[in-house]
Amino acid sequence: MDREQGDVGDSFDSATPKLPEPKLPEPTPSDDATAVAPRFPTPMPQRRRFFPAAAREESDLVRSTTSWCWEQIERAQPWEVFLNPWKVSFPRSFGEFASRLPSNLDAFRGNYIVVLLIILAFTVTDEWMTVLAVAAVALVCAALKLHEEGDNATFWGTETAMFGGKTQRLVVAAAVALPLFYYADMWTAVTWSLEATTAVVFVHATLHAGPGIAAELAKKLEVIPEEGDMPPL
**Domain segments of the chain as ranges:** 52-210
Let me know how many helices (H) and strands (E) the chain has, helices first: 10, 2
Prediction pTM value: 0.57
Burial class of residue 104 in the structure, from the number of CB atoms within 10 Å of its CB (0-12 exposed, 13-18 middle, 19+ buried):
buried
How does pLDDT run along the chain (233 residues), one tens digit per residue?
A: 454 444 545 554 555 555 566 566 565 555 444 445 555 555 554 544 444 444 455 556 667 777 877 888 888 889 999 998 898 899 999 999 999 999 999 999 999 999 999 999 999 888 888 899 889 888 887 777 666 665 555 555 555 555 566 677 778 888 888 888 888 888 898 999 999 999 999 999 999 988 765 445 444 444 445 555 555 55
d(CA 166, CA 152): 10
End-to-end alpha-carbon separation of the chain, Å? 142
Distance from the Cα of residue 121 to its chain's centroid:
26
Tell me the CA distances in angstroms from 123 to 59, 130, 202, one per residue in order.
28, 9, 20
Fill in the amino acid letter for 142.
Answer: A
DSSP state of 88: B
Is 159 in a helix, a strand, or coil? strand
